[in-house]
Amino acid sequence: MRNEPWLLKPQKTKEILQRYGIRMQKKFGQNFLIDAHVPEKIVAAADITGTDFVIEIGPGIGTLTQYLCQAAGSVATVEIDRHLLPVLEETLADWDNVEVISGDVMKLDLAALIEAKTAELAAALQAGAGGITGEPAEAGAAEPAVSDAGASSVSVKVVANLPYYITTPILMKLLEEELPIDSITVMIQKEVADRMQAAPGTAAYGALSLAVQYYAEPKLSAIVPPNCFVPRPNVESAVIHLARRAPAERIQVQDSGKMFAIIKAAFAQRRKTLVNALRNAADLRKEDGTSYSREEAEQALTACGFPLTIRGEALGLQEFAKLSDIL
Ligand code: SAM
């Protein structure tokens, strides 16, 4: 039988926090989960199985981590706050498929971690090592369900209750570094989740919507009220699932860097028309290093079939790609 998560049993979290004298640190965005339904929903939304390598960012005292260890083939969890390391040693002691990495996820070489851990899990699955899935490895035990799995069948999933002060930089690192990640399932502020899946013409639509939707398909999985955390955050939270698009599945554009410079310019001053945004954009230059003139911006919009008075907030990803290619 797989080990059961126990930190959310009555009084357990309180007892651990008291015994270790843990004070939640605001500077690290520490809001710990105290409601068992939430990790269950997160694990279900991430669709975790025994052939998954899961990266968690910010285990805290290990609450969600216990659920991840129970469901995944292997887990690596990255925690910046060194005070929590002895706690994690105790709360994760029942699982042998987890590694706690002490440090800042923004500085971690995730590509190297993924390469090493997926190879390790694939080898263990191929060898039929039941222990790596959380099952006790018994001599002569029945063949594990995953015994014939190879390296290609290991999926990489990121699952986290993210520190809210650094949500967007973490997600953009995960998406832009072209890591072999299949999906990202994270708890974030509901307002940020709304922006990620917003459509053109809505108030929440902006550069973040376009960046996320270029790299992934976002889906809101659950809304989580403040009373599911200690301390209670001031805002509602949401679980969002981002299914990563492989490069061939993305909107095709000649130069994605240029497209994102156009998007940044278009939303830097959202009330400006696109023509004005394009000619005043600091990061947008022609090949000769000069900025676009009004005439050039107008010609590009006309060639795309857009009215000259259009604002960036009216354009979807496909239209920004077209404009970028023409410019
Ligand atoms: N997973 C726990 C839970 O759900 O109860 C804690 C979530 S708490 C919102 C965020 C966690 O991320 C904290 O443990 C915090 O110390 C950690 N953290 C903050 N910044 C980090 C960073 N740059 N790298 C790694 N961990 C970080």
Go through the domains of the chain in sequence order and give each one's CATH number.
10-249 (3.40.50.150), 256-326 (1.10.8.100)
Assess whether the C-beta atom of 39 lies below 6 angstroms from ligand 1. Answer: no
Assess whether the C-beta atom of 167 lies below 6 angstroms from ligand 1. Answer: no
d(CA 73, CA 48): 9
d(CA 58, CA 294): 48
Confidence grade of residue 151 (pLDDT, cut at 50, 70, 90): low
- Residue 220 pLDDT greater than 70, yes or no: yes
Assess whether the C-beta atom of 60 lies below 6 angstroms from ligand 1. Answer: yes
| Higher local confidence (pLDDT), 282 or 198 | 198
15-to-9, 171, 200 alpha-carbon distances in Å: 11, 33, 48
Assess whether the C-beta atom of 58 lies below 6 angstroms from ligand 1. Answer: yes
- Residue 305 pLDDT greater than 60, yes or no: yes
d(CA 101, CA 57): 10
Position 146 scores a pLDDT of: 43
Q: Return all residues near 23 (Cβ < 8 A) that are at least 6 apart.
A: none
Assess whether the C-beta atom of 31 lies below 6 angstroms from ligand 1. Answer: yes
Position 284 scores a pLDDT of: 87
Confidence grade of residue 287 (pLDDT, cut at 50, 70, 90): confident
pTM (predicted TM-score): 0.91
Assess whether the C-beta atom of 29 lies below 6 angstroms from ligand 1. Answer: yes
Maximum pairwise Cα distance, the chain: 77
| Higher local confidence (pLDDT), 141 or 173 | 173
Mutation test residue for ligand 1: of 7, 26, 28, the one with most atoms within 8 Å of CB: 28
> Are the CB atoms for 96 and 131 separated by under 8 Å?
yes
Find the mean pLDDT for residues 213-226: 98
Closest residue by CA, ligand 1 atom 14 = 60
- Residue 246 pLDDT greater than 60, yes or no: yes
Please report how the helices 207-215 and 317-326 are oriented relative to each other, as an axis angle in degrees rounded to 10.
90
Assess whether the C-beta atom of 320 lies below 6 angstroms from ligand 1. Answer: no
The amino acid occupying position 146 is V
Mutation test residue for ligand 1: of 24, 32, 106, 235, the one with most atoms within 8 Å of CB: 32
Find the mean pLDDT for residues 168-191: 96
- Residue 9 pLDDT greater than 50, yes or no: yes
Assess whether the C-beta atom of 71 lies below 6 angstroms from ligand 1. Answer: no
